[in-house]
Every structure is written in C-alpha cells, then in structure tokens.
Amino acid sequence: MTEKYHIYIRRKRSDDESEGLDPAAYNKFKSLLGDIIDIGGDLFAPLPLAGDNPLVLRIIDSLQQLGVDLRNKAIVSGNPVSIYKSREYSPHELFKFEYCQVFHPDFLGKTSANREHDEVGAPYLEAPVTPIGRECGTISHTIGGRFLLVRGGVKRALERSGLKGLLLVKATTISSKSLLPNEEAWIVWSDTIMPKFNNLCIFDSFQLSRFNSQLPYQSNAVYEGFLKPGELHYRRAALAKVESFDVALTHERFGNRGTVENQLIYSRNFIQFFKDELNITLVGKPVHLDDSGQIPWEGPYPDMHDSLNIRPAWLGEFESK
C-alpha cells in the first residue's frame, strides 16, 4: 500500500480573509522548515509526499509548534491548513480483503450531460458509447460512484458466471438514433443492498453527520479523518445478516450539485473472476469489516499507531446518536 500526503498551506493576505495562517504564523512556519525546503510567496503546496518521507513529520510537527491542532474539528474545512493522505493498493493487496470497491483502469462510455438516471439508479450515457471496440471499462464523468460497463464477450461471461447479486442493466443512452448491436452496453449493477456503514459523511459547507437521506444537501462524500477518499467500514455483525453476495449497492448515495448515486461493492470472488476468466485486473480500495460500530477516523501522523493519532473527543457526539 502506497500512502501519499497532500499539503496546502497558505498565508492570509489581509485580516478580512477567513482561511489560512496569519502572516506571523506563516513566517514562523517558513523559518521552521527553511533549512530543508524553500518556501516562497503566500502558498506552500509541495507535490504529493510519500508517507515515509521525513518531511511529512517535519511539517506536521512544525504546525503543532505553531499551535495548530490537527484534531480540531475546524480542520475538516481545511482551515487554517489543508492536509490529507491518499492510498493506493496493488491488486495483490486487494485480494487480502473480503470486499472492495474496484474499477477498470480504462474508461468506456460517459454519463449524460443532463445527469439523468434510470429507474434503478444507473446513470444515462451519452451516445455513442465509445471506444466502440472496448468490451469493459469504467464509465467516465460519474458523480458519486464508479461503475463498470460491459458488452460483447465480457457480458456473456458475466451472464454465465453465477456471481451472486449481479445484475446487468442495459445502459440508457441519450441519442436520437438507435444504437447498433455492437454499440450497446450494460452496467454492472445489483439488487442486493448493503447495511448502513459506520462512517460519517461530509456534507455541504463541511458539515459532518451520519448519513440521512432526508437531509437537504447538494453534495456529500465518505469521511474518514485525514484519509481522502475515505474507505467504507461496516460492522461485521450487520453484514452477516445480508444474503451472501458478490456485488451489492451501498445503502447510502453520494454525489454533488444535487445529483447522487449509489456506490458498488464487490467480493474477492468477483475480482478473482475478472482476473482468472477475463484476464482483466481491477483496481481500487478495500472495504473494511469492523467488530464494533465505532466511527472510523484516520489521524494525521504517518504511523497509524502513533499516540498522536488519538481519536478526537468530538467524534463522541456522533457515536452517541
């Protein structure tokens, strides 16, 4: 697993600005790091840094010296600093997990500009569905999830696969012309619904909350502290009540600008089928099964066992609900 840090620290240019470090703190930050990195202007935004790069710890320690509490809830909004880490897993590492969220590294098809969805929630596509000769890929320009699109030999293999919970939904395309048979495509879907996850969601204006479909919002995403994008966590006991599956839809829907979509979760068996039977390697991130219903939270320090990664007290207000 490769972990990278994304850091964005800016200086306030005036007292009227609400975001960023005040000039004195920013200049102090520069002096603390000036012996190892040149920081010029009003912005410090290095290229993504590997998690084991000593500079990461030096930056975080420098911010602590300035009194920036990275466990403060205000950091959710990226103020006064923005720090998060991303993770990339190799296909071999993904096989260690029972369930994952995966996608094809190549694109096939594009969601329609009007952002419409069919009756099961699958997105409409622009026509023609290109590249024409490609039989499997990830739909581009989706809002909340990454969906696999298949046709030809890949579709026929999936129809014979016996994978549990698998549905193939014929893609609805926005076009005044009928598609030719070799242009048609099917979205990998499911009629199995996951239980509610353990994660918090981050909504408009950086508000955190348990997912609630009745809340009026324009955007939401999975929240997991300093890890972005967050990885889904489920209580193992809750998942045991769901019928065995290889493909399932999340209970929650995600997106932005008022358009939301389910996400899909796949079993190790599904990923293995693509590798063994179709010679297709899917990539993505794991889904975690927890013994408790504790809200997952990733701390800022590279060593996950570092005592400074202690969970913030304010998470308790959500766990008590």
**Residue 321 confidence (pLDDT):** 65
What number of CA atoms fall less than 13 Å from residue 172's CA on the CB side? 12
Q: Is the pLDDT of residue 196 over 90?
A: yes
Q: Which of the residue ranges 94-98, 130-134, 306-310 would you say has the lowest mean pLDDT?
A: 306-310
Kindly list the distances between the CA atom of residue 90 and the CA atoms of 93, 99, 302, in Å, as whole numbers in the listed order: 5, 15, 19
**Residue 183 confidence (pLDDT):** 85
Q: Is the pLDDT of residue 208 over 70?
A: yes
206: left (phi over 0), alpha (psi -120 to 50) or beta: left
Structure confidence at residue 159 as a pLDDT band (50, 70, 90): very high
pLDDT tens sequence across 270-293: 999 999 999 999 999 999 999 998
**Residue 204 confidence (pLDDT):** 82
**Residue 38 confidence (pLDDT):** 66
Structure confidence at residue 62 as a pLDDT band (50, 70, 90): very high
Structure confidence at residue 222 as a pLDDT band (50, 70, 90): very high
Q: What percent of the chain has pLDDT over 70?
A: 98
DSSP state, residue 294: P
Structure confidence at residue 48 as a pLDDT band (50, 70, 90): very high
218: left (phi over 0), alpha (psi -120 to 50) or beta: alpha
pLDDT tens sequence across 163-181: 999 999 999 988 767 777 8
**Residue 217 confidence (pLDDT):** 73
| Domains of the chain, residue spans | 2-88, 91-195+232-290
Q: Tell me the longest C-alpha to C-alpha distance in the chain.
A: 66
**Residue 163 confidence (pLDDT):** 98
Find the mean pLDDT for residues 210-238.
89
Higher pLDDT, 183 or 231: 231
